[in-house]
Amino acid sequence: MLGIMRVRQIESMNQTPVPAAEHLLDFALLQQSVARHAGRNRITLLWLLGLLALLVGSVVSLLLYLNDFEADETARRHAADAQWLEQSVQFHFRRLEDDLLVLARQAVSQASNPSAPLSPGNALQGGLLWREPGVLLSNGWIAAGQLSDLRVGPERWQFDREANVINAEALATMQTTTQGLRRSAYAGVMLRNDGTPTDVVWLAVPFFDRGQFAGNYLAAISIERAIAALVPSWYAQDHEVHLLHVDAENHIPIGTGESADAGRYQVAMNLVGTDLFLQVSQTRELPATVPRIFFLVALLFLLGMLVALYALRRDFIKRQQVQALLQAQVALRTAMENSVTIGLRAWDMQGRILYVNSAFARMVGYAASDLIGLSMPFPYWPVEQQHALARVHEMVIVQGTRGEGTEVQFQHRDGRLIDVLIHEAPLNTTTGIQIGWMSSVIDISERKRAQHMAAQQQEKLEASGRLVAVGEVASTLAHELNQPLGALSSFANGLLNRLHGETITLQEILPVVERMARLAERAGGIIRRVNDFARRRELVRQRLDLAAFMTRVLSSATDSINTPVNWVPPDAPVWIDADELLLEHLVSNLVGNAQYWATQSSQAGPRDQGPKVEISLRQDTALGEVVLSVGDTGPGVSEDALASIFNAFVSRKEGGMGMGLAICRSIVEAHHGRIEVSRDPLLGGARFTVVLPLVGTLANPVEET
C-alpha cells in the first residue's frame, strides 16, 4: 500500500532516478497531494477512440465468421442426414437377412421331418422389408445338394440366370461366397437381355446344421421398392434419394428422377456382392437461426459497449475528483496499519530504516521517530548477538527469508529479550526495481515459553513412564515367582520333616527332588522371561503355529498333578503373527490361574469329579480369528468382580499382587486381540477367552507394546 503511493511520486518527478539518501523522504511524500498530468485527458480520449475502432472491426469479423459458420453447419447437417439414411438401410437389410435365416431353419426342419407342419411364410413376424408389399419379388430354399441343379430354385431364379451371362456369374459367385465365408451375400443388379440394369438384387442366406452347410435361402429384392419403403415421409420432404449402380467406374442412375445440382451426398449401401449407392440431395434449406440470433446479440452487446464507453468517459472526469480524496485514504490506511498487533518495518538495501508502525515501536520500546533513518546495528539488537543479526540481514538482502520465516531475538528498551518471527518481502517500484524490504515482525515470546514448558513436562512424563515400567517389571517378577517359590518351599519343608522323622526312603526322595528341580527350573525360566521382557520393549512378530506352541508350553507349565489339564490339539495348524515370548507368558498365566482356582472350589460337571482345567482352540476363517478358551471347575468370577478383574493391583488370591490378568490383557491388546471372562457352561467355573487375528488379518500392526 505504502510502496504504491511512493512510486506515483517517483513517476511525477519525470522518471528521474531518486538517490539512495532521498529514500527517507519517500514515505513523507504520502502526505502531499498527487500531481496532475495535463495531457492525461487527451490520451484517454485517444484510447477510447482506438477501443471503438477495435469494437467495430470485431463486429465485421464476427459477421464474416457467422457466414462461414452457417455454410459449414448446413454441410454438416446434410452429411448427418445422409449418414442416418445409410445406417437405417443397413439395419433393415440386416433384419431381412435374419428373417430369411428363420425361414431357412424351418426349411431344414421340414426336410429332416417331413411329417412336421411347415409354418407359412406370412406367419413370420419379420421386419419392414419383409412386410412391405413388392419388396420381395421371389424367395425359396435350395438345399446344398441342389445348388448345381438349374431346375431348382424360386420362380424368378431361372429367369434371371438365363437373362444374361453376367447374371449367372454373379449368382454363382453369391452361392460360393455364402458357402465359403459362412455369411449372407448379394448379387446384382440383374441385367436384362440387352444389358440394361434392373432394380432386382438377389440375397442368399446360408444355413449350417451342426457345422455342415445345409443350403441357401434365396430372395429376389426390388431395390427401388425397398428404398421407397425405408425413406420416411418426413425425410422425403427435405431430401431426394436416388439409387446409383457402379458400372465401369461410372455411377449410373437406376429408375427415374433427376438429382439436384448441389448438396448431393453419396452413401454406400454396403451390400456384399453389389456396387449400389444412394445419392441424397437436399431439396429444402432450413434457416440457420442460431448464428443470426448470435449476431443480433453481438449487435446488442456492441451498443451496450458504446454506452459503456460513454459512461467510462464520464468516469474519467470524475476520477479527478476521486484523486482529491487520496490524502484521506492514505491517512485511513495508516491508521489501519497502526491498529494491527503485527509490527511492520521497511528498510532499504543499505540497511536504513524507512518506516515502522506503532506496533513495532511498542514491541521494542522505542518511538518511531527514534528508529526511522537509523542504520545497522539497530538499538534493539542485543549486544552479544549483533554480529549474528548482521549476518542474518546480509542473507535477507541476498535471498530474502524462507517461507517459514526467520526467528531472532530483539532486546526491549528496558533490557528484556523478545523472541520474534520475521517475514521479509521485496519492496519494489512499478518498474520492478527493488529499493528495499518490507518486514512483518511477530512477537513469539509467549509461544517460546509455552514450548519450553511443554518440553519440561514431556521430560517429566518420560521419567514417570520409566518408573512405571520398573514397577511393572518388579510386580510381574514378584507375581510370577510367588507360586513356584511357594511350591518349592513346601516341598523342601516336607522333605526336611520326613528326613528328620526318618519316614522316607531313597526311592521316595528321588521324585520329590525331581519335582523341586523342575520348580526351580521354572522359576529360573520366569526370571529370564521377565528379564527379556523388561529389556526388549518391541514386539518380535513371527509366523507361529498356535496349536504346536500350546502343546509345547502346556507340557512344561502343568506341574500340578492334582489339577489335570484336558487339552486336545486341533488336527490342522493354526497360524498367527505373534511374539513367542509374550504369548508364552500369557498362556502360562492363564493356565496357572485356572489350576489354582480349580482346587479352591470344585464345581465339576455331570461327567467329571474333582478339580479340572479344560483348554480348547478353534479358528474362524470367516471372521479371520482364532479363539483360545481356558476353563476350570473353580468358583468362577462374581458379577461384582467382572468390571475390575483385569485392573492392575486387583487380586482375589491371598497374598496376590493383582498384576497377572492385567499383564495378560496388555499382551492380548498388543497383538490386536481381546480377552473376555465368563462362566464355563460345562465345568461351572471361570472361562477366559482370548481372540487373536489369524495370519494376514492384522490391519494395523503395532511395533511397540
What confidence tens digit (pLDDT) does each residue in 319-370 have? 777 777 777 777 777 777 777 788 888 888 888 888 888 888 888 889 888 8
**Region 39-54: what's the mean pLDDT?**
73
More confident residue, 256 or 508: 508
Q: Residue 218 contacts by C-beta under 8 Å, 6 or more apart in sequence?
A: 138, 139, 140, 141, 142, 153, 154, 157, 202, 203, 204
Q: What is the pLDDT of residue 4?
A: 39
Least confident of 211-225, 281-295, 515-529, 623-637: 281-295
527 in helix, strand or coil?
helix
Q: How many CA atoms lie within 13 A of 609 on its CB side?
A: 0
Question: Cβ-count burial of 357 within 10 angstroms (0-12 exposed, 13-18 middle, 19+ buried)?
Answer: buried
Integer Cα distance of 201 and 156 in angstroms: 11
Per-residue confidence (pLDDT) for residue 534, from 0 to 100: 57
Per DSSP, what are the bridge partners of residue 616? 629
Q: Do strands 613-620 and 565-567 pair parallel, antiparallel, or not at all (unpaired)? A: parallel
Candidates 583, 572, 570; CA nearest to 542 is 583
The secondary structure of 195-261 as a DSSP string is S-B-SEEEEEEEEEETTEEEEEEEEEEEHHHHHHHHS-HHHHTTEEEEEEEEETTEEEEESS----S
Amino acid at 484: P
Q: Tell me the CA distances in angstroms from 523 to 54, 488, 527, 584, one per residue in order.
A: 101, 9, 6, 14
- pLDDT at position 24: 39
User: With contact defined as beta carbons under 8 Å apart, do 429 and 7 qualify?
Assistant: yes
Q: Give pLDDT, residue 688.
A: 92
Residue 139's DSSP bridge partners are: 219
Query: What share of the chain has pLDDT > 70, as a percent?
Result: 77
Length of the chain (residues): 705
CA distance 244 to 255: 9
Residue 675 has what pLDDT? Answer: 92
pLDDT of residue 289: 65
Per-residue model confidence as pLDDT tens digits over 412-465: 988 888 888 888 888 887 788 888 888 888 888 888 888 888 888 877 766 555
Kindly state the helix (H) or strand (E) to which residue 632 belongs, with its residue range.
strand 625-632
- Comparing 382-396, 529-543, 576-590, 684-698, the range with the smallest average pLDDT is 529-543
Whose cell is 443470426? That residue is: 292
Of 504-513, 555-564, 691-700, which has the strongest mean pLDDT? 504-513
Please name the residues in contact with 412: beta carbons below 8 A apart, sequence gap of 6 or more: 363, 364, 365, 380, 418
Pairing of strands 212-222, 136-143: antiparallel
566 confidence band (pLDDT: 50, 70, 90): confident
Over the stretch 513-565, which tens digit does the pLDDT of each residue have?
A: 877 887 787 777 767 666 665 555 556 788 999 989 988 888 766 555 567 88
The whole model's pTM is what? 0.36
Q: Mean of the pLDDT values across residues 598-602? A: 72
Contact 676, 689 (CB under 8 A): yes
DSSP string, 116-151: SPPPPGGGS---HHHHSTTTEEEEEEEEGGGTT-TT
C-alpha cell at 101: 435365416
CB-based contacts of 254, cutoff 8 Å, min separation 6: 189, 197, 198, 199, 223, 224, 243, 244, 245
* Mean pLDDT, rounded, of the chain: 76
Contact between 645 and 637 under an 8 Å Cβ cutoff? The reply is yes
